[in-house]
Amino acid sequence: MNAMQDMTGGRELVMVSNRLPVDRVTNDDGSTSWRASPGGLVTAVQPIVEQLGCVWVGWAGSADEAVEPFELGAMRLVPIELSAEDIALYYEGFSNGTLWPLYHDVIAQPEYHREWWDRYRRVNQRFAEQVAATASEQAIVWVHDYQLQLVPAMLRELRPDLTIAFFLHIPFPPGRLFAQLPWRRQVVRGLLGADVIGFQQTTDAVAFRMAVERFTRAPALGNTIVLPASADGPSRTVLAQEFPISIDAESFAEIARRPETRERAKEIRADLGDPRIVMLGVDRLDYTKGIRHRLKAFNELLEDGELDPTDIVFVQVASPSRERVDAYRQLRDEVEGTVGRINGAHGTIGRAPLNYLHRGFTRDEMVALYLAADVLLVTPLRDGMNLVAKEYVACRDDERGVLVLSEFAGAADELRDALLVNPHDIEGLKAAIVRAAHMPREEQRRRMHALRRAVADNDVAHWAAGYLGAVRAAAESGEIGVGG
Ligand code: ADP
Ligand code: F6P
């Protein structure tokens, strides 16, 4: 057993997430292939499971397609089929039209539809049944994210021998907001089926424990919730605590050190016209990411003459996301309209101040972009963590570059040496962008040095050790009957 496998005490590990780590895509010629699924969940979790090995249960990303289980590296992937109606009601509806906006401080208006909830419950039940049929005796099952909050309790009922862990990758909302959810009690009870519930930030864990006290009356002693004996089983405890997620910093640093990556970074700058300053934004095209606010600030700085469009290029990478959900369609129209207006007003022949890229890139190309950027703008209105900020820092072993970071991203708890901003304050955001564009090398070095230490000290191995250590302790306490 290596150090990683030791984390599960030799038990089988079953990952469960809405999406598998790879999505099935149909190519132009009709053939199909697999590509990495979008988002931070896979970036963070993949390096752990590559070492540990696991079974991974999730959706393959297309509608009405039954895919047989298959092996991928150290993983055995078990696809769950979702119909077009499941996708519309469970995924686009309840997950991304109700929970996503509610859990992100109602930046968009959550919609509450009983039909969506009903399908969410049914799809969660299907996930639980598939896991129950797949997991070996005494396995550790690790359920991920807001799409599957009912799975822990459903699974416990089917398979009481399992140790169940849950991790919420997005924020848990404050009490007044969570209370809006018509099915708040069911969600809390669903999560409490787990032995360990992990959150990104202390505030999330506190908000959850308060919701438990309010909606179930089960008391919390510190981080531990004590569930009384009931018809469903004996008294037991649930650990609900923050475990801030991270990245495999060394694997990003390794790509960044390669001569070909450095060469590619230079090429990118040359292709952009070798401007004095390259600014970068990298986000899923999501209304939580603050892209509208960022573009507004950038446009005003060009209009005020505080940034010179012949001197600066802003590259905004916006990965396609949830394109059939109304709020995302609207956002795309708005962002693309704004990009056109900015370039129309401030571009010159052969040179546009804004380079907008609406597509996915390879990891190597992302790293080259990070190296090419003098300034990274990470300005979400709300974000569970934001791994892009950590990736930029991990790549900059030259100790150059400036990170402008929203105080509403979970990452701001650790990355205190970034230029922290309130993205709602457009004047403050503009001032931070100007400061970043003119920051002296020595200040860049000092800040980046401290940021790199923060990311290196809390990388994904550290996160996994803390989280899986708690899960393993729960598994072992169960075996000897403590808390059970
Ligand atoms: P979220 O999980 O909300 O999407 P994160 O910042 O935590 O946000 O994680 C996003 C992940 O997706 C990062 O690992 C980032 O490198 C990756 N990513 C974002 N945009 C792209 C893109 N266009 N191409 C490839 N990877 C991307
Ligand atoms: O935590 C954010 C999240 O929903 C993850 O589950 C996933 O990594 C990412 O966003 C991508 O979202 P989607 O699966 O809806 O494309």
Residue 421 CB contacts under 8 Å (≥ 6 apart), including other chains: 379, 404, 405, 406, 407, 428, 429, 432
Q: CB of 368 closer than 6 A to ligand 1? A: no
Q: Look up residue 99 and give its two tokens.
A: 């929970």
pLDDT in tens, the chain (484 residues): 455 567 898 999 999 999 999 998 888 888 888 899 989 999 999 999 988 999 999 999 999 999 999 999 999 999 999 999 999 999 999 999 999 999 999 999 999 999 999 999 999 999 999 999 999 999 999 999 999 999 999 999 999 999 999 999 999 999 999 999 999 999 999 999 999 999 999 999 999 999 999 999 999 999 999 999 988 788 999 999 999 999 999 999 999 999 999 999 999 999 999 999 999 999 999 999 999 999 999 999 999 999 999 999 999 999 999 999 999 999 999 999 999 999 999 999 999 999 999 999 999 999 999 999 999 999 999 999 999 999 999 999 999 999 999 999 999 999 999 999 999 999 999 999 999 999 999 999 999 999 999 999 999 999 999 999 999 999 998 764 333 3
The residue whose CA is least distant from atom 7 of ligand 2 is 39
282 lines ligand 1 (CB under 6 A): yes
- The pLDDT, as a whole number, for residue 68 is 96
pTM: 0.96
pLDDT at 437: 98
462 classed as catalytic: no
Q: Are 56 and 21 in contact (CB under 8 A)?
A: yes
Q: Report CA(38)–ligand 2 centroid distance (Å).
A: 7
Catalytic residue check, 397: no
- Hey, what are 395's tokens? 């790549």
Q: What end-to-end distance do the CA atoms of the chain give, in Å?
A: 28
Residue type for position 316: Q
Of 361, 212, 214, nearest in space to 283 by CA: 361
- Residues sharing a CB contact under 8 Å with residue 442, sequence separation 6 or more, in sequence order: none
**Nearest-atom index, ligand 2, CA of 38:** 11
Please return the burial class of 29, using the count of CB atoms within 10 Å of its CB with bins 0-12, 13-18 and 19+.
Answer: exposed
C-alpha–C-alpha distance, residues 296 and 33, integer Å: 38
Phi, psi of 294 (to 5 degrees): -65, -45
In the reported structure, the alpha carbon of residue 436 is separated from the centroid of ligand 1 by a whole-number distance in angstroms of 23
What number of other Cβ atoms are within 10 A of residue 19's Cβ?
A: 21
Query: In angstroms, what is the span from residue 478 Cα to ligand 2's centroid?
Result: 32
- Does 319 sit in the ligand 1 pocket, CB within 6 Å? yes
* pLDDT for the residue 137: 97
Give 147's DSSP letter: G
Q: What is the pLDDT of residue 27?
A: 86
pLDDT of residue 25: 85
Q: Strands (DSSP E) along 331-433, which ranges?
A: 354-357, 375-378, 402-406, 419-421
